[in-house]
C-alpha cells in the first residue's frame, strides 16, 4: 500500500475481465425481465409503458429506470435486434449469445457510476491513513460478492443504483446537502426500494439544511422564525420537486399515473418470497413449521394441510399455527424501528451518525419488511461499509453481517457450475477484506462475549455450507433427496437470519449506547 496511488482503475480492469468470463454463467428470469422492458420501451409510446402486459414480466420500476431501458434499447446494434432481443412476446423469444453479450455489457458499463463515485470518495480524503481507509472501503464495495453475484450472474443493475447512492453519501460527507438530496431523489426515481432509507435522509437534511437550532433559548417571535431556514427549505423542496417532475411529469401528462403507481406497489404478493430472506419472518415461518410437526406427531392433533401455493412468480405462505402477518403489521414494525434510528441524528446530525441511521433503517426494513428479497441485504451492507473503519467493534458487527448476508445469497446461484465460483469468491473476499479492515481500524480494548459468539457463528457457517452443498450434489443422483429441496433453503435462511438478527442487535447496542464511536 505504501506506493499505491489509490486508484480503482486496476481493480476495474481486473474485475471487468472476470465479469466477461461470467458472460455464459447462469441467468435468472431477471434477464428476461430486463430484455422485455427494453422491448416495451423500444416499441411502444411512453403512455403505454406501464399498461403493457403481454409478458408477465411487466415494467414495475419507477420512470428513470424506464428511461434508462429506453436509452439502452435505442443503442442495440442491428445484429442484436436480429437476434430477437427486442421482441415483445408472452414467452421468452429464442435468442442467443448476441443478446446475452449486449445485456451483460450494459451491466458492466453502467456499473462505472459506482467506480466513479467511489474514486471520488477516495480522492476527497486526506493523503495518508485516511486515504488508505477510504481505499479499503471503496474497493471492498466494488468487489463485493453480492454485487458480483446479483449483477453479473443473476442479472440486475444494482452497481449503477448503489453508485448513485454513493454519490449522494459523498456529497453528504462534503456537506453539499442540496446535491445529496438531489442524488437521493434521482435514486428514488430509479428504484423505489430506496424509500426505506428515506427517514434517515429526512432527519439528516432537516437538521443540517433546513433548521438552525440556536445555542440559546429563543426569546422573541422573530428569533423563533429564524430557527427555520426558509430559503434552504425552498431550494431543497423545489430541486427535489424538479427531479420528481422530470421523472413522473410525462406520465402525468398522459394521465397514466394510477397504473404506474399500482405497478410500483403490488401488495398482492406474500409476506415471504419463495426463498425466505434471512429475516425475522424466516424464523417465524420456521417456528410455524416446527409447531405443525409437534401438533401432528406429538399431540396427535390434525392441523389443516399446509396451504403453500407455489408458482414461479409469487408464493403465498399462510401460517397454520401462528397468527397471520398483515402488511400493516410489517409496515408499523419497520416504521417503529426506523423512527428510533433517526432520533440520534435529530440530536447530533453528524455524517457518521447519519450513516449509522441509514444502516439501521436498512436493517429495520430488511428484518421486518413485506416480501423482502435476500438481495435487499445490500441496502444494509453498503452504507455500513463506510463507517466500519471507525471502530473495531463496528468491524466485528460487519464481519457477522457480511458472512451471514453473503452466504444467504448462495441459493440464488444453484447450478453446479457456479458452485465453486460462489464459495471461492466469497471466501477470498472475506480473507482479504477482513485482514485489511483489521489493519486499518483502531484496536479493541477487550474482547467481549459477542466476539466469541461471532467466531463460533462464522465457523459454524462452514459445516452449514458443506452439508447443504453435499445434499445439493447428491440430489441429482438420489431422487429421494429432491423431496427435501425446501429443507436446504430453510437451513440457509434460518442460520443466516440468526446472523443478521444478531448483527442488528449489536449494531443497535453500539449506536444507542456507545457515544465515543459516533463523536
Ligand atoms: C482522482 O484523482 C486522480 C489523480 O489525482 C485523477 O486522475 C482522477 O480523475 C480523480 N478521479 C475522480 C473521480 O475525481
**122 CA → ligand 1 middle, Å:** 9
Q: Exposed, middle or buried by CB within 10 Å (0-12, 13-18, 19+), for 173? A: middle
> What is the SS3 assignment for 315-342?
EEECCCCCCCCCHHHHHHHHHHHHHHHH
Q: 425-432: long-range contacts at Cβ-Cβ below 8 A with a sequence spacing of 24 or more? A: 425/145, 425/148, 425/149, 426/145, 429/140, 429/143, 429/144, 429/145, 430/402, 430/403, 430/406
Could you identify the atom of ligand 1 that is nearest to the CA of residue 116?
A: 13
pLDDT at 484: 74
Distances (CA, A) of 167 to 181, 336, 344: 10, 28, 23
C-alpha grid cell, residue 468: 447443504
Residue 478 confidence (pLDDT): 79
CA 12 – ligand 1 centroid, Å: 14
pLDDT band at 309 (very low <50, low <70, confident <90, very high): very low
Q: For residue 121, what is its C-alpha cell?
A: 470518495
pLDDT at 516: 82
Residue 304: per-residue pLDDT: 61
Cα-Cα-Cα-Cα dihedral sign, residues 265, 266, 267, 271:
negative
Q: What is the 3-state secondary structure (H, E, C) of 221-261?
A: HHHHHCCECHHHHHHHHHHHHHHHHHHHHHHHHCCCHHHHH
Q: What is the mean pLDDT of residues 449-478?
A: 85
CA distances in angstroms from 378 to 54, 148, 422, listed in the order given: 32, 12, 17
Report whether residue 125 contacts ligand 1, using a CB cutoff of 6 Å: no
Closest listed residue to residue 384, CA positions, set 355, 408, 412, 343: 355
120 within ligand 1 shell (Cβ under 6 A): yes
How do the domains of the chain map onto residue ranges?
280-324, 387-519
- What local confidence, expressed as pLDDT, does residue 274 receive? 66
pLDDT greater than 70 at residue 1: no
5 CA → ligand 1 middle, Å: 10
Q: Give the pLDDT confidence of 263-288 residue by residue, as tens digits.
A: 898 766 666 766 788 999 999 989 98
The percent of residues above 90 in pLDDT, for the chain, comes to 62
Tell me the pLDDT band of 38, cut-offs 50, 70 and 90.
very high
223 in contact with ligand 1, CB cutoff 6 A: no
Evaluate the CA torsion angle 247, 251, 252, 253 in order and state its sign: positive
pLDDT of residue 269: 67
Pick from 119, 138, 166, 167 the residue to mutate for probing ligand 1's pocket: most ligand atoms within 8 Å of its CB: 119
Element spanning 310, H or E: strand 308-310
Residue 116 Cβ inside 6 Å of ligand 1? The answer reads yes
In this prediction, residue 35 has a pLDDT band, given cuts at 50, 70 and 90, of very high
Helices (H), 94-176: 97-110, 112-123, 129-142, 145-147, 158-173
Cα angle at 163 between 512 and 373, to 5 degrees?
A: 65
pLDDT of residue 445: 65
Residue 205's pLDDT is 96
**Which has the closest alpha carbon to 149: 412, 383, 433?**
412
Element (H or E) spanning 308, and its range?
strand 308-310
State the average pLDDT over residues 319-346: 89
If residue 17 lies in a helix (H) or strand (E), which one and from where to where?
helix 9-21
Give the list of residues 6+ apart from residue 412 with CB closer than 8 angstroms, or none. 28, 149, 150, 153, 154, 374, 375
State the average pLDDT over residues 115-139.
93
pLDDT of residue 334: 95
Task: Judge residue 430's burial from the number of C-beta atoms within 10 Å of its C-beta, 0-12 exposed, 13-18 middle, 19 or more buried.
Answer: middle
Ligand 1 mean position, distance from CA 9 (Å) = 10
pLDDT in tens, 225-249: 888 889 999 999 999 999 999 999 9
**177, 209 contact by CB (below 8 A):** yes
Q: Which of 11, 112, 123, 127 to mutate to test the pocket of ligand 1 (most atoms within 8 A of CB)?
A: 123
* Residue of 488, 441, 482, 447 whose CA lies nearest to 465: 488
> Ligand 1: distance of its center to the CA of 162 in Å?
20
DSSP 3-state of 82: coil
| Cα 7 to middle of ligand 1, angstroms | 8
Ligand 1 closest atom vs CA 124: 14
Q: What is the pLDDT at residue 3? A: 53
Closest C-alpha to ligand 1, atom 2: 123
Report the separation in Å between the CA atom of 157 and the middle of ligand 1, taken as the mean of its atom positions: 24
Q: Is any ligand 1 atom within 6 A of the Cβ of residue 6? A: no
Q: Quick one: angle between helices 378-385 and 392-407, nearest 10? A: 150
Q: CB neighbours of 240 closer than 8 A, spacing ≥ 6? A: 181, 182, 185
pLDDT at 313 over 50: no
DSSP 20: H
Does the pLDDT of residue 130 top 80, yes or no?
yes
64 C-alpha to center of ligand 1: Å?
Answer: 28
For the chain, the first-to-last Cα distance in angstroms comes to 28
What would the pLDDT profile of 68-105 be if each residue is shown by its tens digit? Answer: 999 999 999 999 889 888 999 888 888 889 999 999 99
How does pLDDT run across 6-19, given as a tens digit for each residue? 899 999 999 999 99
Q: Is 124 in the pocket of ligand 1 (CB under 6 A)?
A: no
pLDDT score, position 458 = 93
How many other CB atoms are there within 10 angstroms of residue 228's CB atom?
13
What is the C-alpha separation between 472 and 186, in angstroms, rounded?
42
Distance CA 447, CA 173 (A): 31
| Cβ atoms 120, 174 nearer than 8 A | no
Nearest to 149 by CA among 308, 299, 25: 25
Run of H or E including 202: helix 198-205
Q: Which of 127-141, 184-198, 213-227, 332-346 has the lowest average pLDDT?
A: 213-227
Mean pLDDT rounded to a whole number for the chain? 89
Q: How far apart are CA 67 and CA 223, in angstroms?
A: 46
Segment holding 450, helix H or strand E:
helix 449-475
Amino acid at each position: 500500500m505504501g506506493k499505491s496511488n489509490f486508484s480503482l482503475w486496476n481493480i476495474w480492469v481486473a474485475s471487468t475481465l472476470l465479469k466477461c468470463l461470467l458472460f455464459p454463467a447462469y441467468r435468472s428470469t431477471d434477464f428476461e425481465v430486463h430484455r422485455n422492458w427494453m422491448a416495451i420501451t423500444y416499441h411502444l409510446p411512453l403512455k403505454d409503458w406501464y399498461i403493457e402486459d403481454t409478458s408477465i414480466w411487466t415494467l414495475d420500476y419507477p420512470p428513470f429506470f424506464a428511461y434508462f431501458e429506453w436509452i439502452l434499447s435505442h443503442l442495440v446494434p442491428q445484429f442484436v435486434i436480429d437476434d430477437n432481443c427486442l421482441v415483445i412476446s408472452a414467452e421468452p423469444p429464442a435468442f442467443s449469445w448476441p443478446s446475452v453479450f449486449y445485456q451483460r455489457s450494459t451491466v458492466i458499463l453502467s456499473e462505472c457510476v459506482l467506480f466513479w463515485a467511489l474514486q471520488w470518495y477516495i480522492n476527497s480524503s486526506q493523503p495518508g491513513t485516511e486515504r488508505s481507509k477510504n481505499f479499503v472501503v471503496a474497493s471492498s464495495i466494488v468487489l463485493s460478492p453480492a454485487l458480483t453475484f446479483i449483477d453479473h450472474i443473476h442479472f440486475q443493475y444494482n452497481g449503477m443504483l448503489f453508485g448513485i447512492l454513493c454519490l449522494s453519501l459523498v456529497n453528504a460527507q462534503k456537506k453539499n446537502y442540496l446535491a445529496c438530496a438531489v442524488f437521493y431523489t434521482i435514486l428514488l426515481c430509479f428504484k423505489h426500494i430506496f424509500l426505506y432509507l428515506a427517514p434517515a435522509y429526512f432527519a439528516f437534511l432537516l437538521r443540517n439544511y433546513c433548521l438552525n437550532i440556536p445555542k440559546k433559548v429563543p426569546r422573541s417571535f422573530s428569533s423563533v422564525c429564524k430557527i427555520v431556514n426558509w430559503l434552504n427549505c425552498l431550494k431543497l423542496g423545489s430541486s427535489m420537486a424538479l427531479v420528481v417532475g422530470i421523472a413522473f411529469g410525462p406520465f402525468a401528462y398522459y394521465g397514466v399515473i394510477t397504473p404506474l403507481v399500482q405497478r410500483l406497489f403490488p401488495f398482492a404478493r406474500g409476506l415471504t418470497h419463495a426463498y425466505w430472506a434471512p429475516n425475522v419472518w424466516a424464523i417465524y415461518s420456521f417456528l410455524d413449521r416446527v409447531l405443525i410437526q409437534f401438533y401432528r406427531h406429538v399431540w396427535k392433533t390434525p392441523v389443516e394441510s399446509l396451504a403453500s401455493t407455489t408458482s414461479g412468480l409469487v408464493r403465498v405462505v399462510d401460517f397454520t399455527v401462528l397468527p397471520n402477518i398483515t402488511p400493516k403489521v410489517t409496515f408499523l414494525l419497520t416504521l417503529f424501528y426506523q423512527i428510533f434510528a433517526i432520533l440520534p441524528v435529530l440530536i447530533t446530525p453528524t455524517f457518521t451518525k447519519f450513516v449509522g441511521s441509514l444502516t439501521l433503517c436498512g436493517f429495520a426494513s430488511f428484518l421486518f419488511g413485506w416480501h423482502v428479497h435476500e438481495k435487499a441485504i445490500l441496502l444494509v451492507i453498503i452504507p455500513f461499509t463506510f463507517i466500519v473503519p471507525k471502530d473495531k467493534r463496528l468491524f466485528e458487527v460487519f464481519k457477522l453481517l457480511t458472512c451471514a448476508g453473503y452466504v444467504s445469497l448462495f441459493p440464488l446461484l444453484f447450478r453446479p457450475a457456479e458452485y465453486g465460483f460462489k464459495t471461492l469468491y466469497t471466501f477470498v473476499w472475506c480473507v482479504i477484506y477482513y485482514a485489511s479492515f483489521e489493519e486499518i481500524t483502531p484496536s479493541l480494548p477487550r474482547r467481549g462475549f459477542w466476539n466469541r459468539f461471532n467466531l463460533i457463528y462464522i465457523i459454524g457457517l462452514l459445516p452449514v455450507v458443506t452439508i447443504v452443498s453435499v445434499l445439493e450434489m447428491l440430489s441429482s443422483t438420489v431422487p429421494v433427496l429432491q423431496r427435501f429441496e425446501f429443507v436446504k433453503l430453510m437451513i440457509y435462511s434460518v442460520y443466516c437470519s440468526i446472523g443478521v438478527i444478531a448483527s442488528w442487535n449489536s449494531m443497535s447496542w453500539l449506536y444507542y449506547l456507545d457515544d465515543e464511536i459516533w463523536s
